[in-house]
Each structure stands twice: as C-alpha cells, then as structure tokens.
Structure 1
C-alpha cells in the first residue's frame, strides 16, 4: 500500500540499500522500534493478491493492478523477500491468505510453499528452486482481511465468510496441525454488524481457530480533541465485548477452549483527509495516507498501547498499522533520509521496557468530560513488573488538556523483597521520560527529526515512605522505571 514497501523498507537505489535492495537506515529504525511480528501482505491488498505473482525470478514476475488501492504492483517484493527481510531483523512473519477472490486451494498451496521441507511437495520444491532451501517456518496465519467491509474485494456476509474460513482452516490444519489461525473479526466498532459478525463467524470456526481479529483507527472527528484523547475507551470496550462474544459461543458449544484476540490493525488515522478508495487514480508506488503525527497523536498511541497491555489476558497479538510511510511511525524520502514520527516513541519505549507481568492497577482519578464517551478517567496508568529483577515499569497518560495530574504510587509492596532469596531493598527511581510539549501540534520532520522526543522529567521522587510522586503535564504520556 502506497510507499510502505516500495520507497519504504525497499529501495534498491538508496545509498543504504543492502544486496537485496532493502534500506539499511529503515531496518535500523525498525530494530529500534522493537517490532517482534509483522503481518504480511496486509491489509485490503491481500483480498485480490495472487501470491504466485511474487515468487521466482523478479524479471519474470507480472505487473498487476491492485484493485484495493488502484495501484500497479510490480511484485519485485514477494513472499520470499519479505520473509528473508523479517527473519534477518529477528522478526516473526504473520502471513495472511486471500479469501476475497481465492480460497482453500491457494491458501494450502501458499502454506506448502512457505513451510514445507525440500522434497516434500512440488510446491515446496518450487521455493527451493527459487533459492530458498529452508522453510520460512511461519506459524501464525490470518484467514483473510476485513471481510465484513463492503469496501473489501470479495466482501462476504458473516455466514459466507465463516464457512469459507472454516473450510480453509480445516484444510490448512490437515497440512500442518501446529498453526495458529486468526479469523476475521470486525473492521471497527462502528460497523452495523459489530458483535453479531463475530458470533456468526465463530459459530463456524470456533474449534478451528485460535484468535479472532479486531481493527480500529482513531482521529479527532470534527476537532473533538477531548474524545480523541480518550480513544482507548473505545478500544477497551471492543476488547471486552468481543471477548464476551467469543466466550458466549464457547459456552454454547460446551467448549473448554478460550479464544484470544488478534488486534492486528490499530492506529491513529486522519481518515477525513483521505478521499476514499474510489477516488484514487491508478499509480505505481504513489504516496498514500502519509499522515504526519503530532504530540497529541503520540499521547493517544501511548494510551492505546496501555489498553492492549491491560487486556493482555485476552489480546494475544497486536499489530500497529502500518510500519513505514503509510500512517506509520517511520517516514522516508525516496533516496533520502528516514526519521521517527512522534508515535514512534511510545511504541519503542513500551516494547523495550513494558515486559513481564501486567499488574491490575487500581487508579483513583477525577473524570474528564468528552462528547463521544461521556465522563472518562482523566489519567490512565498501566504497571508491568519484570519477574526476574522485580523492576517496575509504569506507563501513564494524562488525557486532560487543561490540567496537570499529580501521580502518587505506593511502592511498599514491591522491591527485591518480593523475590525469594534476595535481600530486601526498596525500589528507586531509575528514569522518568515524557512525551509532552507546550505545542501539542508539534511534529517531527526530515529537517527537524528530533523536535518531539521523550524527555527526562524533573521533580519525580520516591520518598522514604516508598511513595512515588510525579506531576504529569496536560496531554502527556509517560514512562517511569523503578528498580533496586
């Protein structure tokens, strides 16, 4: 889509390009971002994609019209190139199969091509002949994309999709019983079929899949910034509602299985700036929805990350969409620099430090009024403890645009005393970083790539009573690290 691949991760003429044509500067930023999985090939694109077009000698690959985004696809980058690139960065690929214009046969053929050993089938040997002897070993597979959406190529009703997904899942599991499979859930919470779609689809697929997907994008509709800052309230409601729907289907089937959620598309997206798919002219590698994100957007993204962590008992997979250029944390210029958008930073910090056990934080906070969600908590706090060291990471968002928040956290129950065999030592403050600015509309550019970065916060203390105190400015997102 747009310049995510071509001109994004892949640009053979770029000064930093490797021998396969992938940009080295972008790869370094992807490493810094802390990405662990990447879903490929998308997105609406997959619903018209013929995977066979993207394998074999590049010079012999056909050019195709992508109906989803009305763009010409050269197929210079395909399955083998993507898997090699991802594995080279230590990233696990998640593959999506086309259930829009294709079905069971194509999905099983792709599975054989990607995962089967040399000599096992002629399709696997085709991969070997293309220069990739070892299987790509992709474990997680998405059964189509946003099939509830009328914009989707091959859009289906819940019953139509549910049956096709079940037949595809059954065939793929016969080929490889150890796969993780994701059934398509709702494209957003505003869909008229939200909830009902999941129930019907899972009635067909419950015993065959591991996850149900959710997608959500947020923007300040009509300039309503207060509701925009509270976007995670919608995400939280989606997660709990669909988890309950899945549990209802499981209970009706007398099943002990517990499905989890793959929130495999989420982000801030200024959709009001996008004229729509039907208004696009046919182009090749043209710029598409390259939103520039500001401080407020970064606060929202940080808060959405916290919502995902707070529901990690049900959210097993989450993929921010997308990676480069297209509503992305990384922007590039063709042949020029790559730089971090504001939303890069909460993702990178969360990926690096919010590892371990997510704790249930009991937060007392005044409300803030919003037009869309009513009164919501002005402050959200997420706590994660690293089990080996006892270190504590706090993520916090002050969603009040007018007033600072005073954060106090009792820490007496934490510290190395909670770890058997360790001498009791209280936690101390290691670091407090914030994304905040006097100008909430500040952005990063190629000329000023570090205009908005996480900055140290002064005045945060842990007193002798082991109570943390910090001041959170209006419209801000925070990472606070504590250890012994």
Structure 2
C-alpha cells in the first residue's frame, strides 16, 4: 500500500463490521454514520509527495459560447457575413428560436442577419471573391424614400457598460454615402442609440463608430436590435462588422470580456488547456495576424463558426491576465510535426521569452473516430514519436502529454503508447466525461443517481493507480511518466441528476478534487472542463455568471495547501451496485470524504470536506494534533436547498459559498457539515 492510500481512506483501522451486500440492493449502506463523527488529523505525519498547483488546471475549447459570444466580447454573430458556418442541427435550432431568419436566408442574407423590412423583398446580393474579409461580402441596395438595411438581435451587458465601439468595412457603389448604425428596441421602430459615418470610398475602407446607450433605456437581459442602414437609393458593399463593449480588454478594437476575465482570475487556476475535439482540425496560423484578415470557417468538430479572432495571441493574453500558463494541444489529426514545432516556437517566444518548458499535449482523444484524421492503434506510436521529436527539437524542456485512454478501458491503447522509446512523453492523458444518468440499473430514481455519481471519484482513484502500475511495469517509463487528467466532467440529461450546471455536479467536482489530492503523486496535472461554460463561467443574454462547481474550484484552488497530512476517522460508508455504466460497482464509499493538507510555510492547515449523505447533516468532532491552531478557524461552505439548484442569467448567485467561523480550543473543533455539501476549513497557527 502506497503512502497516498495509507493516509486517506476514512475507514482504515476502524472496528465497524462490514455488513454483507444484498444481491438485490443497488445502494447498500455498509455502515451508518455515528451520531457524532470523529476525525483525527495528525499534521506531523506528512505524505511523501506534494499537491502540485497543476492539478487545478482548467480547459478552454471553442464550443458553445465559451470563446465566441463568451470570453471574446464581440456582440455580433457572423460579423463577416459568411455562409456555411453552422451545421444543419445548429441552423435548425437557430430557426426554431428566430423563425424570421428563414425568410432572411431566402433573400440571400447570411444567418443570423435579417432584413430591416422584409416587405421590401430582394434588396441584398451576396458577392464572392471580392471581400474585405474571408470569402463573401453583402451588397445592400437602398429603396428611395425608405429605410433599407440589415439587422441582428443582440444582448448588450448594459448592467456594466453603456458605450459600444464598432467598425465596418464598406465599398461605395452608387448614390448617397451615409451609413447609419443603430441600437433599436427588439422588433420595434424605437431607436435607442444612433450614429453615422460617411462612406464615400469606392475601395474597401474601414470605418469606426461609437454607440452610446442612454441610462435606463435598455434593461439587463433585454434583447435589442443592431441595425446598419443605407441612405435612400444608396448601394454599398458591406463586410466585417464588429461591435464590442467599450470596456472590453483590448486587443486592437475589441477584446476579452472583463467580467469573464475577472471571474477566471478568481479561480486561481495555474494552467489553461487550449484543446479538445477541435484540435484535430485546427491550424494555428489561421488565428494569428491582423484580425481583419483572419478567415471565418466552420469548426467541424462542433458545427459552429470559427472566426479565428480568438487565436494564439488572444489566448496567451488571457493566460497572462489570469496568471495561468498555457497548456496547448497540438494537431495530430490533419496537422504535421513541422506545424506543431512552429507553434511551440511561436508560443515560447511570446509567452515566456523562449524559456520553453510549457505543457504540450500530443493530440486529443485520438482513439475517437469523431476526431479528424484519427490514427489506428498501429499508427499511434509512430505518430506520437514523430510529433514528440519535432517539438523537442525546438524546445527540449517541453513537458509532453501523449494521448492516453480513459480510466475504465485504458490497457490496450496505453500499452501501444508505451512501446515508444524512453523520453517520448512525460505524461499519458486520460479523460472522464461521464453521463451520470446512464446506469446499469434500469429506471433509477434520483437518489440512486446522486449516490452513484458521488461515488465515482472513489473508484476513479483506484483505476488511476492501475494505470500508473502499467506505466511503472514498462522499464522505459517506470517512475518517470505519470498521468495528466486533461478533461473531466459530469454530464446529465435528466433534470434530477448531478450534472455540471447544478449543485449535485459541484459535490461530484469536490469529491473529484479530493481524489486528485489523494493521488497527486501519480496525477500531477489535471484540467477541469471547463473554464468557460460546463462547470465554469457562463454568459447568456449579456450576463456573466458561474456554475456551482466554479465555486468549488475556487475554494480548492485558492487554498494554500501543498502537503497532505494524515487524517483518519469513522464516518460510515456505502457501496454501489449496477450504478453509472462507466464504473457501475463501487465499494467502500465514505459518507464524509476528507483531505487535510499544510502549506509550505507550515502556518496553515486546510481541511477539505465533502458530505455525500443525502439526508443527514453530520455533526463532527475534529481533533488536530501536530499543529498549534489559533482560536478561530475560517469556514467556507457550499450547499443548496436542492441538488438540482443552478445559477442562471436570471439568478446568477443562487448557489454561492457561505463564510463563517468556528472556535478551536486545544486543537479541537466541532463542525456540522450539511447533507450534500462542500466545506473548506482553514486553520492558522496561533
């Protein structure tokens, strides 16, 4: 038994008799919690490894509105007026939400733009091959004596900013030369803000403008219409229309959403992984250089636009703003070793003055046929090796993460990777994106789903030990190569199941962090999905908010805790049979899951506590030895009236941590841990 396994199981050494499991039982309580739980912390007994900051990495991928219409503060969609930027599923969803776009498309307007007055009929002509940006521009043919133009529904963060800066490219063709930009009330003639530019140039020219929203004229979450109008019988070719809040953190005109950057900084994440399924079709040079010249295209992994305005430089700037290092996944699908090596050199030069030594991931989920250009098992080792050699040639200090398999079926795939020569990679990745309402047990109730989900990290820790044993059994990699858990997420489709958006998902995330700290000697790198959307930061209708799991991440990553110390106790436990399909049978799941750790200075001791019990608040006496604690400890607790409570744009702070204090006397303290909760206790030396 390793040090990590000796220090942490709460049932080790207890006298409780384990009751036999009934074959018909699905959740079996092996030992009920006592009326008062006792925990003993011995701060003098330190584990033989450290908790690296890198287990608190996060993950960013252009999916949903994580980057575009999210972190990247551009208000408009399809600003370059292109076609074929969405797959049919996303187009169908768009048309269900805005049925009027069907008629707009028939008139030749690119989604999601629509005509100001559909009764005017055909007044729009797409032009290909002569565009200021990308492939296509749009000619607008004015109607004499009438307003003619294009419109897009927008949500503006007016609760934070009332000034909006924009630009557009225009080429004058005929008639008057005045372009008018407006914010109107949605589906209304009421003009809220308006400005004009004189666009006389017959060559493509960029024009800047500002729109000022009067105080109180537009409410938070209220839709508005952004309008571009031509003057009378004017004919003009339009392209690349931008609109940004004036407070966007600038990268030229436009930039990053300041609310999202602030919340990301407060997560205290040391790593941000730039990767995912899009990696296998991403060519990094598409996302560098002048933003007006970057080409919009389909993100084939997710069927959504890739505007390329959030590229490498923007990502690196985001990392610097939040105090994180980049962890980049290179293209092992359609990419080449030369392309990857050039990207490494580019990033090293711009992020850390050519010092190198950053984390680079050699592909993403290459075992999945959904990834472009996926290799067969026979191709895998050679492709990994050639990519590794190309990167190490430009950065010998690079920390390389080769693609491994998931913890529940890793053996064959990882064995193929381990046929490579020593030094080919430093880590094998693993992912666990699990559907929590997919169970072996038919028709499970909500309580079963919750208990089975909360148990998953316990079994994951055991699986990770097996993965490490396979590496250690390969001489070329033994005790030098470890696991990088580069994606993890709890997904549920039923409303009554723990998932990344609700309080149940936050409890699962906290149990996952406890597992990572207990196994940090073999898993020194981990990235939660994701820093934007999923279990992280969301933006809807112009409002930025966070999932409950975001606050768990903040509580854990913000703690000053680097060295695990011994913690034992008897808290009761349960077992799962026929649970979540990926890991259906899990024994010895403690109701109260705890980790204790000191900081480097030795003046702070932190306890991380997850109460998995669905109904019982657990009154707990904690005895601390080997640490002279001050008279008061600080407590942060995250819980909610229901496991299914979420934060939303309407109610962005429904589930947030509560702060309190508890008295410490002679190294003893009593805490009550609410059922289905996460608590972090910080003790300082007296």
Q: TM-score range by the shorter chain?
A: 0.7 to 0.9
Q: Does residue 7 in structure 1 map to residue 58 in structure 2?
A: no
CA contact (8 A) 1:216 1:235 kept: no
Q: Distance in 2 between matches of 1:101 and 1:369?
A: 45
Question: Does 1:330 pair with 2:537?
Answer: yes
Which structure would you say has the larger RCO, counting Cα contacts within 8 Å and 6 or more residues apart?
A: 2
Q: Distance in 1 between matches of 2:544 and 2:398?
A: 35
Q: Which has the larger radius of gyration?
A: 2
Counterparts of 1:9 and 1:241 in 2: how far apart (Å)? 38
* Structure 1 position 396 matched with structure 2 position 609: yes
Q: For residues 355-389 of structure 1, give each alpha carbon's deviation from its aligned partner in whole angstroms, at most 9, with x where no partner exists.
A: 22122433432112323324422121011101314
Distance 2:649 2:305 in 1: 28
Cα deviation, 1:2-21, whole Å, max 9, x if unaligned, reads 21111121113235312221
Which residue is equivalent to 1:201? 417
Quick one: structure 1 residues 77 and 233, their matched pair in 2 at CA, closer, same or farther if it must change by over 3 Å? same
Partner of 1:321: 529
The structural deviation recorded for 1:211 is 1.1
Tell me which residue corresponds to 2:621. 408
> How many Å separate the matches in 2 of 1:378 and 1:201?
38
Distance 1:398-1:50 versus aligned 2 partners, 3 A rule: same
Which residue, 350, 358, 376 being the options, matches 2:564? 358
Offset, 1:272? 7.2
Give the equivalent residue in structure 2 for 1:281.
none
Are 1:462 and 2:664 an aligned pair?
A: yes
**1:138 CA drift (Å):** 6.4
Secondary structure of residue in 2 paired with 1:106: helix
Judged with a 3 Å threshold, the aligned counterparts in structure 2 of structure 1 residues 359 and 157 are, in CA distance, closer, same or farther, namely farther
For the 8 Å contact 1:405–1:471, the answer to whether it is kept is yes
CA distance in structure 1 between the partners assigned to 2:304 and 2:434 by the alignment: 25
1:103 equivalent in alignment to 2:339 = no
Supply the distance in 2 between the matched residues of 1:15 and 1:266 (Cα, whole angstroms): 35
Q: Indicate yes or no: 2:456 matched with 1:240.
A: no
Separation of aligned partners in 1, 2:286 and 2:591 = 50
Q: Secondary structure at the match of 1:249?
A: coil
Answer 1 or 2: which has greater helix percent. Answer: 1
Aligned match of 1:481: 682
Q: Which residue of 1 aligns with 2:430?
A: 214
Rounded Cα–Cα distance in structure 2 between residues aligned with 1:482 and 1:23: 36
How far does the alpha carbon of each residue in 1:382-431 deviate from its partner, in whole angstroms, 9 at most, with x for none?
Answer: 1110131421100011112122323333212222xxxxxxxxxx443321
Q: Describe the shift of the 1:401–1:272 C-alpha distance in structure 2 as closer, same or farther (beyond 3 A).
A: closer
1:218 and 1:268 in contact (8 A); partners too: yes
1:478: Cα distance to partner? Answer: 0.8
Structure 2: segments with no counterpart, 5+ residues: 1-62, 75-243, 439-445, 580-585
Instruction: Return the match for 1:265 from 487, 506, 509.
Output: 487
Matched pairs, number: 432
Question: What does residue range 62-101 of structure 1 map to in structure 2 within 5 Å?
Answer: 62-101=295-334
- 1:308 counterpart residue number: 516
Give the 3-state SS of the residue equivalent to 1:442 in structure 2: coil
Q: Distance in 2 between matches of 1:99 and 1:462?
A: 55
Bigger strand share: 2
The one of 648, 652, 675 aligned to 1:449: 652
Q: What is the aligned partner in structure 2 of residue 382 from structure 1?
A: 595
Q: Deviations over 1:114-162 (max 9, x none)?
A: 235xxxxxxxxxx8xxxx9965956111000111122222222333222
Output the CA distance in 2 between the equivalents of 1:201 and 1:158.
9
TM-score by length of 1: 0.83
* Distance of 2:608 and 2:658 partners within structure 1: 14
Contact kept? 2:261, 2:321, Cα under 8 Å: no
Q: 1:262 & 1:133 partners in 2: Cα distance?
A: 22
* CA RMSD between the two structures: 2.4
Ranges in structure 1 where 5+ consecutive residues have no aligned partner: 117-126, 274-290, 416-425
The counterpart of 1:143, out of the listed 358, 362, 374, is 362
Structure 1: distance between partners of 2:355 and 2:372: 28
What are the superposed Cα offsets for residues 31-62 of structure 1, whole Å, 9 maximum, x if unpaired?
1111211011x100001111111112222222
Q: What residue in structure 2 maps to residue 189 of structure 1?
A: 407
Q: How far apart in 1 are the matches of 2:461 and 2:338?
A: 37
TM-score with structure 2 setting the length:
0.60
